[in-house]
Structure 1
Amino acid sequence: MMNVCVLGIGKVGVHLINECINHPTINLVQIYNRSNKGLELYKGMLSTTQSILDLKKADLYIVALPDSVIPTLNLTKLQGLVVHTSGTVPFSDLQATNRGVLYPPQSFTKEKKISFKQIPLCLETEFKTDYSTLENFANKISNVVHQVNQQKRQKLHLAAVFANNFSNRVMGIAYDICKKNELDFKILQPLIQETFLKTQIMTPKTAQTGPAVRGDQKTIEKHIGQLKNTDLEVYKILTKSIQEKHGTEL
């Protein structure tokens, strides 16, 4: 049985808490949060605290708090392994004797249930002797575990922003166009699904379609004429990016 403490009840923290609660070989010793907001949901069911000084003994402490908060916590008195879940912060920002990183490159929302089994977990520890502890925990909750150092993790986080955050914003533009023109956005759902399914079987470059890769300037000009402001700039820069990648004349 592995004793675990989760610090933070944000999007990542809540999902980790639920995963620990429901796992037969993980004992969720305690939940920490800086404010009482949200902790009341767990009171009477689990040990909770708002004080770092009151943290109980555990094998693993998972800091699922904002990046700016991570360096401010004095966790040097903890004897277990302390890891954070950030994609960009180095483990050296943790004030702890034994430290590392447990980064899940995934988009989390509190309202949507998610299984960690298929979520990749990227691990890093300062000392080799601590890696087995972190790997043991990771293998309990996920089938996809990778050892990734700080430099590669930061590149992965950058790639994740393009793949998730930026693509979601582009879908937001599509949604707004549909709504403004009284079109049901659901009409595009099969297309969106097919787009992302293709990335599982071929490279994005191979899967690329549309007027930009075809060099269909007539259609591009029609689209440009229907857009303005930031949406127009987004269209132009993405069109340019596609054409440069595929060697199409602008």
Structure 2
Amino acid sequence: MINVSILGTGKVGTHLIKACINSPVIQLVQIYNRSEQGLTLYQGLTPTTTDLNSLKQADLYIVALPDDVIKTINLSHLQGLIVHTSGTKSFNILQAKRRGVFYPAQSFTKEKKINFKAVPVCLETEFNADFRVLQNFASMIAQHVYEISEEKRQKLHLAAVFANNFSNRVMGIAYDICKEHQIDFQILQPLLQETFLKTQILPPKVAQTGPAVRNDAETIEKHLNQLKGTNKEVYQILTKSIQEKHGIKL
């Protein structure tokens, strides 16, 4: 049994709270949030507080707060291990005696349920003894646990922005095109699923298809004539990127 407190009830904090509550070997000691509104859902379920000085003793404190807030809070009065969930920040921004990072490499939305067991978790601690504590906790709620340095975690976060945030925006462009022309976006769902399934068995370069990799200038020109503004620029940049990756002379 490990005693855990979670600071923050945003997207990451919400899913961590659920994962802890659902584990028979984790005691959720307390939930902190800067406002009472974010604690309403948990009142009567587990102790809550808006006062950092009222935090109870725990083995582990997970700070799931915005990056610009993490560095402003002083947790040096606590004896337990304190970790944040940021993909880009060093554990050095934590004002604490024992510090580390618990970075879940996943995109979280409050309204959508997620199987935390399937979420890859990346760990780093300042002291070796604390890593064992953090690894023990992580293995209770996740099946894929990795020890990753700050430098590699930041590179992973960069890769995640391309894989998730940018790909979602590109899907948004596709959605807007369909909506504008009264086309059911669901028609593209099998294509989207196949695209991401391929990445599990093939390198993206091998899986690449489409007019850019075929150097189909006629189709590319036809597409560009239908676009304007930022969407046209995105099409041109991505086409150039694909062709450069495949050694196609521009």
- TM class by shorter chain equals over 0.9
Aligned partner of 2:217 in structure 1 is 217
Task: State the superposition RMSD in angstroms.
Answer: 0.5
1:30-179 alignment runs, 5 A limit: 30-179=30-179
Contact 1:122 1:147 (8 Å CA) reproduced: yes
Query: The residue matched to 1:173 in structure 2 has which SS?
Result: helix
Offset, 1:92? 0.2
Give me the TM-score of the superposition, normalised by structure 1: 0.99
Q: Deviations over 1:159-194 (max 9, x none)?
A: 000000000000000000000000000000000000
CA distance in 2, matches of 1:139, 1:220: 48
Contact 1:178 1:185 (8 Å CA) reproduced: yes
Counterpart AA for 2:163: A
Aligned partner of 2:200 in structure 1 is 200
Offset, 1:45? 1.4
Counterpart AA for 1:45: L
Counterpart AA for 1:56: K
Counterpart AA for 2:217: Q
CA distance in 1, matches of 2:239, 2:37: 45
Offset, 1:98? 0.2
Offset, 1:44? 1.3
Offset, 1:109? 0.3
Give me the TM-score of the superposition, normalised by structure 2: 0.99
Offset, 1:248? 1.0
Gaps of at least 5 residues in structure 2 are none
Q: Deviations over 1:80-128 (max 9, x none)?
A: 0000000001000000000000001100001111111111000000011
Contact 1:8 1:33 (8 Å CA) reproduced: yes
Offset, 1:129? 1.0
Moved over 3 A (4+): none
Sequence identity (%): 69
Query: The residue matched to 2:36 in structure 1 has which SS?
Result: coil
Offset, 1:37? 1.2
Aligned partner of 1:181 in structure 2 is 181
Aligned partner of 2:236 in structure 1 is 236
Contact 1:215 1:249 (8 Å CA) reproduced: no
CA distance in 2, matches of 1:129, 1:71: 24
